[in-house]
Each structure stands twice: as C-alpha cells, then as structure tokens.
A and B are shown apart, each in its own frame.
Chain A
Amino acid sequence: MKKSEPMSESYYYILLCLAKGANHGYGIMQMTEKLSGGDVIIGSGTMYGATGNMMKKGWIREIMSAEGGLERRRLYQLTDSGREALRAEIARLKRMLENAEEV
C-alpha cells in the first residue's frame, strides 16, 4: 500500500474525532455530524467496518470505559500510528488545498 493513499471521509472523521481523546461510536458519529455541519454522516455499517479495519491497521484500539459501573462502554482510542496516519492525511489535504490556491 502506498503511504499516502487517500483516506475515506469516514476514516478521516473517525480519526479526527478521536484526536482529542477516546470516544464511543455514537459520540464519533455525533461529533462528525457537528464538525461537518451535517454533511458527513457515519452509519452503523460504515462505523463497524471502518473501526474494525482501523483496529486491524493498528490506527485505533478498543478500551472499556472505567466510569459508570454497570454502563461500561466500548471506547475507541487513537494509537501513535493512527495519529501519524491522521497527520499525513491532513498534510496531504493541506497540500491539495494549497495547490488549488496556486492555480
């Protein structure tokens, strides 16, 4: 796989939502909708597939929330390599934007 292969919108927003801390699927979905002004929605099938694939890639990992006693929830957390992948994608997008401004 090429290092700078474009990320799907869903992958990108999931990583973005996890940049500031662990979150659960629903939190990621809501945050994505808010960030994108309702443009990007992550449905459950897309969410399950994307998080599963990114766990396989080692970009995110699964943790259980400590608080809440009975209501222990599954949270996703960014790994170092996930942070690196996100940084590379942001750099790629920035470059594309700069190129657009040059033209």
Chain B
Amino acid sequence: MSGKYKTSYKAYSAWNYQKEVEDLNKASEQGWQLMKGGCFHSKFVRNPDVRYRYQLDFRKIDDMPRYIETFREQGWEYINSTFNGWHYLRKLYDPSLPEEAYEIFTDRESLQEMNGRWARLAMSGSIILGLFALLYAVRMFRQPDLPALVLLLTLVIESAALLRGMFIMRNPESSRNRKGDGAFLAVFFAVILLGAGGSIVLRTLRPGFSTDQRAGSVDAPVTDNRWIDFKVHYPDNYYLDLDMEAPEAMTFEIIDENGEVVYSVTETSFQEEDIRLKLTRGEYSLSLSYKTGFHAACSME
C-alpha cells in the first residue's frame, strides 16, 4: 500500500455527476474514502475497513443545520460543499438495505428540480455569453479584426457547450454512460484560456497610440516630416482616426519599411474615424507634409 492520503484530479462536468458518484462508490469499495470533494480535485483517505455510498446534491442551502439534520436522520453524513453549490454526502454501506436506501431524490419532481436548478444556471450563462457574442458580432461587422474574431468564436463555442450541458441535464436519459468527459472539460477550459487570453494578447500587440501635432506658422514648406513610428506584429485590419486642418492642403501618409506609401490623404480639412487599413507585419511610420501652419491629431488601434 502506498500513502494514507491521495488526491484525485479527475474532473466531471455537471451533467455527468452520476458518473462521479459511481466513481466515488468504486473508490470506497477499493478502500479510498472521500475526505473532501471538489470540482477539480478531491482528497481521499485510505480506510479499507468501511464502505460508503455517495450522493451529490446541487442547491443553495438556506438552512445548513436543517440540511445536515434532515440527511443525518436517514443515515447520511454531510462531507463538504464546493464553492459553486455542489454538496457531497455519504452513507455507510449496508448490503441488507435495498438500493432505494441510497437515493436522496426519490420522486421525479425533486430530481427534476435539482437538474433544473443547474440547467437554469447553465442557460443564464449561455444567454450571457450569447449576448456578448452578439455584441462582438456587431463589432466584427463594423470593425472586423482578429482579437474580436477570436473572442467571438470563444464566446460562441462556450455558449454552445453550456447549452448542450443544459439539454443533457434536462434529459438525463438522453446520455447514459457518457465517455470522454475529462477531455471535454479540458477542451472547454482550454478554449476559455486560449480564446480569452489569446484575444487579450492579440489586442495588446496592436499599435495603440494617440497623438497631436500643431505648428503656428512655418518658414518654408516641409515635406516628409516623420511623425511617429510603429510596429505591426501580425497582419490584420487596423483602424485610424485622423483629424487635420490647415489653410493650405497638407499631406498625411503612412509609409512602410520599404518606403512605400500605404495610405495617403491630402486635404485642407479632414476628419474621419475608423479608417480601415489592411497592414501586414512590419514597421511603419507616419509622415506629414505641409506648407503652412497646421493642426493634426491621429490615433490608431
């Protein structure tokens, strides 16, 4: 025998809680008794001399002493609760008792209530994610760029995953003995991390600046006055706000590292927001040419 304690890092999705119960029962039979159950890891203690049967409950307990007493009356021991409202219970196994003695929900209504509580939560989550997805879809439509696309896809995938969980929880019979649950959860959380994290990283890698320049008067015309340099880390759509004003036409240009002009405007007065620029990876600079005093402001994201 190895140690006296062990930690299991098996995770189960909410709609697969019966599988977790089965696994806890099996562990107990093999001499490992649950000390503390959790969403992502559970602690066990070695004790081959007892055998328990487990159950999981999901609810907001409004009266803990009453809850514990109600279960204790029928031989159930309350073990612990997870942060998100799952409660672990166990009862000493007695082979002379019928299987019903190890059920905590004994009518259809109360079982549906429990499944419904989780399903409602999953649905609210799915709706919230769905609304954010819609928001980003609108944004994508008006201002398509990679960080928004990544976040939009993440929101759609997670919203769909929660919706699927809700349907399984509502109709438990539709999915007996679901396999590959750990893999599903791993993907679920990986998508959150990679999607949300990736979107943030992509967003911070974008050139973000906001700057202002003015000259009261100039002695001689100035051409190609380099204003600001910036770097583009990945090809995407980038958005420029430009506002310039001068008595005589002035020129604003964006020049790439090969000296080629990728954007140019020559006007006496120009105000525009969200000018879409398709830029490839590389270094760029903003340049101004003017003959008179001027005012120019620009920002980019």
Residues on A close to B: CB < 8 A?
8-10, 24-26, 29, 40-52, 62, 73-74
**Which 6 residue pairs spanning A and B have beta carbons closest together?**
A45-B104, A26-B73, A43-B106, A46-B110, A8-B109, A44-B71
If A44-B71, A46-B107 are given as contacts, then 14 extra A-B residue pairs at C-beta distance below 8 Å, sorted by A number, are: A8-B110, A29-B73, A41-B100, A43-B74, A43-B100, A43-B110, A44-B74, A45-B55, A45-B114, A47-B74, A48-B67, A49-B110, A62-B66, A74-B69
How far is it, in angstroms, between the C-alpha of A8 and the C-alpha of B74 when the chains are bound? 21
Residues on B close to A: CB < 8 A?
55, 57, 59, 62-63, 66-67, 69-71, 73-74, 76, 89, 100, 103-107, 109-110, 113-114
How far is it, in angstroms, between the C-alpha of A46 and the C-alpha of B110 when the chains are bound? 6
B63, B73, B89, B105: which contacts A46 (Cβ < 8 A)?
B105
Asked if B104 and A46 make an inter-chain contact with CB atoms under 8 angstroms apart, the answer reads: yes
B69, B105, B113: which contacts A43 (Cβ < 8 A)?
B105
What are 25 contact pairs spanning A and B, CB under 8 A?
Answer: A10-B110, A24-B73, A25-B70, A26-B73, A29-B74, A41-B103, A43-B103, A43-B106, A43-B110, A44-B70, A44-B71, A44-B74, A44-B76, A44-B104, A45-B57, A45-B71, A45-B104, A45-B110, A45-B114, A48-B66, A48-B70, A49-B59, A51-B70, A52-B63, A73-B69
Interface of B is mostly: mixed
Asked if B106 and A41 make an inter-chain contact with CB atoms under 8 angstroms apart, the answer reads: yes
Nearest-CB distance from A70 to chain B (Å)? Answer: 15
Nearest-CB distance from A58 to chain B (Å)? Answer: 16
Instruction: Tell which of A47, A49, A74 has the most Cβ of chain B within 10 Å.
Output: A49
How far is it, in angstroms, between the C-alpha of A40 and the C-alpha of B109 when the chains are bound? 14
